[in-house]
């Protein structure tokens, strides 16, 4: 066997012409231009000074570079080194100056950038609606909730390995503690807030500001029917009160689901729940949560009741908490709020409280304003529980977001890092718009790393002729047709101002 046969007769020279790497990045840059993002950023960062490089163009290009995998500002050279394709691109020092200018502009500059991104989002979502007929629905346990825009709030810790401004010790180590919101329909970030490392997980003022920013980020037609979710760390009395007020607005509908603390009153209520009141929970496919019993028969496809053990159950505690022996223990909370409990068999190694260890179940609670008069599958306890449990999808968005810039901040200056966060959120947003407006199949669901390998990092040959430039993807590249189709779809979009 000739294990080195692949390199036989192979020569490497430096005489190639018209070869372009990262050719797929042109699709992302074109999308930023077509949706009006580049123009909006240019107006937002306009200055009376005479500049060679427009600051909006620089910021949009930085977002494209981050989407392409840039982890530090010097990685911006991925565009500058491809002048044949991208033309005159700013240098790395110019990018530093742009971020420094945004930082010097403070909240006003950030607000202008946010306004530009939100305007471009309206154009991108309009294009997505024209292509698909509607915005993607919210996936809940094998069902699709149409016509509802879902906002998910969550915080994350970004570690810092050096003395960066406002990087502080926290419950996960040392670093910053940004707060983020994502649209579950499109998997894109809506708003973000750079915070010091010691910022609290349930700081009410931060969550209220982020909630307002996330709703304002949505195109007006998508603000009428909302769903907002947060985990127990982010839940607070102030947040639930604000959500209740938003839900009471005439002509609007808002359903929320937030984590709830398992306290003394909740433990008392759980002990009073009759056994028949616990209903079996469902998994992400809408199937019952059960496992094979230890003494089950050998046929794993059997339907013997004794061969299956129910793993999780759901019940409602609202009646016991409001009308139990201790009178109304939810006094001061919105009247429309309901409390639900879930119990499940703990995984091996799970740490249980003394209350949970007593009966062997692990408990988690949530509060929601799902109307008691609601009918259909959304009113079933299993789906009410599943609606909250899919909040965990925001963890995937944050994980992929950390692969798009928010996992590492490049500067010691807090203001520059805040500007980098804004550019990183734009990068993740552009990738989401690319999937919505131009890609199909697996690519329309692909994470950033996959998109980079298959689309953004693809090499091509740049050919000139007939006063035109043609970018030719290798015929043997498995996703060549997808890249060409994406370019055609993006080019066909109407040019936004």
Cα gap 124→146, rounded to integer Å: 19
Lowest mean per-residue pLDDT among 52-61, 239-248, 294-303, 478-487: 294-303
Based on the number of CB atoms within 10 Å of its own CB, is 268 exposed (0-12), middle (13-18) or buried (19 or more)?
Answer: middle
Question: What does the mean pLDDT of the chain come to?
Answer: 93
Please give the model's pTM, rounded to 2 decimal places: 0.94
Q: What pLDDT is recorded for position 345?
A: 86
How far apart, in Å, are the Cα atoms of 113 and each of 37, 43, 46, 59, 269? 10, 9, 11, 10, 49
| For the ranges 31-35, 47-51, 319-323, the one whose mean pLDDT is highest | 31-35
pLDDT in tens, 156-208: 999 998 889 999 998 888 999 999 999 999 999 999 999 999 998 889 999 99
Whether the CB-CB separation of 383 and 351 falls below 8 Å is answered with no
Q: What pLDDT is recorded for position 161?
A: 87
Closest CA to 44 of 92, 85, 101: 101
Q: What pLDDT is recorded for position 264?
A: 94
Q: What pLDDT is recorded for position 466?
A: 86
Lowest mean per-residue pLDDT among 15-19, 350-354, 373-377, 460-464: 15-19
Q: What pLDDT is recorded for position 406?
A: 95
Whether the CB-CB separation of 192 and 184 falls below 8 Å is answered with no
Whether the CB-CB separation of 405 and 421 falls below 8 Å is answered with yes
Give percent of the chain with pLDDT exceeding 90.
Answer: 81
Position 289 confidence tier, pLDDT thresholds 50, 70, 90: confident
Whether the CB-CB separation of 227 and 183 falls below 8 Å is answered with no
pLDDT in tens, 411-451: 999 999 999 999 999 999 999 999 999 999 999 999 999 99
Give percent of the chain with pLDDT exceeding 70.
Answer: 98
Sequence-distant (≥ 6) Cβ neighbours of residue 266 within 8 angstroms: 260, 317, 321, 339, 341, 365
| φ/ψ bin of 467: left (φ > 0), alpha (ψ from -120 to 50), beta (otherwise) | left
Q: What pLDDT is recorded for position 78?
A: 93
pLDDT at 483 over 70: yes
Closest CA to 271 of 217, 235, 315, 237: 315
Q: What pLDDT is recorded for position 405?
A: 95
Position 9 confidence tier, pLDDT thresholds 50, 70, 90: confident
Position 452 confidence tier, pLDDT thresholds 50, 70, 90: very high
pLDDT average, residue stretch 370-377: 94
Cα gap 318→367, rounded to integer Å: 9
pLDDT in tens, 34-91: 999 999 999 999 998 888 899 999 999 999 999 999 999 999 999 999 999 999 999 9
Closest CA to 260 of 357, 148, 342: 342
Closest CA to 433 of 216, 155, 219: 219
pLDDT in tens, 114-150: 999 999 999 999 999 999 999 999 999 999 999 999 9
End-to-end CA gap in the chain: 62
Cα gap 380→374, rounded to integer Å: 9
Cα gap 226→88, rounded to integer Å: 43
pLDDT at 293 over 80: no
Whether the CB-CB separation of 320 and 345 falls below 8 Å is answered with no
To which residue do tokens 């580049």 refer?
38
Position 292 confidence tier, pLDDT thresholds 50, 70, 90: low
Whether the CB-CB separation of 463 and 473 falls below 8 Å is answered with no
Cα gap 332→273, rounded to integer Å: 24
Q: What pLDDT is recorded for position 1?
A: 60
Q: What pLDDT is recorded for position 124?
A: 98
pLDDT in tens, 195-206: 999 998 889 999
pLDDT in tens, 342-373: 999 888 888 999 999 999 899 999 999 999 99
Sequence-distant (≥ 6) Cβ neighbours of residue 454 within 8 angstroms: 443, 446, 478, 479, 482
Position 301 confidence tier, pLDDT thresholds 50, 70, 90: confident
């Amino acid at each position: 066997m000739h294990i080195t046969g692949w390199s036989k007769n192979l020569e490497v020279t430096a005489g190639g012409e018209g070869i372009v790497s990262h050719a797929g990045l042109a699709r992302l840059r074109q999308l930023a231009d077509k949706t009006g993002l580049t123009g909006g950023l240019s107006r937002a960062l306009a200055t009376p000074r005479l500049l060679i490089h427009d600051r909006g163009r620089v910021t949009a290009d930085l977002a494209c570079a981050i989407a392409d995998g840039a982890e530090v500002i010097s990685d911006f050279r991925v565009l500058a080194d491809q002048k044949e394709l991208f033309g005159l691109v700013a240098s790395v020092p110019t990018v530093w100056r742009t971020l420094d200018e945004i930082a010097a502009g403070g909240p006003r500059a950030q607000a202008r950038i946010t306004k530009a991104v939100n305007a471009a989002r309206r154009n991108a979502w309009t294009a997505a609606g024209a292509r698909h007929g509607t915005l993607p629905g919210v996936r809940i346990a094998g069902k699709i909730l149409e016509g509802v825009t879902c906002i998910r709030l969550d915080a994350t810790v970004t570690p810092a390995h050096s003395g960066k401004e406002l990087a502080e010790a926290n419950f996960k180590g040392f670093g910053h503690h940004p707060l983020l919101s994502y649209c579950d329909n499109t998997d894109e970030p809506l708003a973000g807030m750079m915070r010091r490392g010691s910022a609290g997980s349930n700081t009410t003022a931060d969550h209220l500001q982020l909630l307002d920013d996330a709703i304002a980020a949505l195109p007006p037609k998508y603000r009428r029917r909302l769903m907002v979710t947060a985990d127990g760390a982010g839940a607070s009395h102030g947040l639930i009160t604000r959500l209740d007020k938003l839900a009471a607005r005439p002509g609007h509908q808002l359903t929320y689901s937030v984590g709830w603390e398992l306290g003394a009153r909740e433990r008392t209520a759980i002990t009073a729940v009759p056994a028949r009141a616990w209903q079996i929970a469902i998994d992400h496919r809408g199937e019952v949560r059960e496992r094979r019993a230890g003494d089950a028969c050998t046929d794993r496809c059997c339907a013997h009741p004794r061969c299956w053990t129910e793993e999780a159950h759901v019940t409602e505690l609202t009646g016991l908490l409001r009308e139990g022996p201790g009178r109304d223990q939810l006094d001061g909370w919105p009247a429309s709020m309901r409390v639900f409990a879930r119990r499940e068999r703990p995984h091996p190694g799970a740490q249980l409280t003394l209350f949970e260890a007593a009966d062997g179940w692990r408990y988690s609670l949530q509060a929601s304003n799902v109307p008691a008069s609601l009918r259909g599958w959304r009113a079933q306890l299993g789906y009410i529980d599943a609606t909250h449990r899919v909040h965990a999808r925001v963890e995937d968005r944050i994980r992929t977001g950390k692969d798009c810039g928010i996992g590492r901040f490049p500067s010691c200056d807090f203001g520059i890092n805040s500007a980098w966060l804004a550019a990183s959120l734009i990068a993740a947003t552009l990738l989401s718009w690319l999937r919505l407006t131009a890609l199909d199949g697996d690519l329309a669901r692909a994470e950033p790393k996959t998109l980079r390998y298959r689309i953004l990092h693809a090499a091509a040959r740049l050919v000139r002729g007939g006063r035109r430039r043609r970018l030719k993807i290798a015929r043997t590249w498995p996703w060549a047709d997808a890249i060409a189709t994406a370019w055609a779809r993006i080019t066909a979009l109407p040019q936004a101002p």
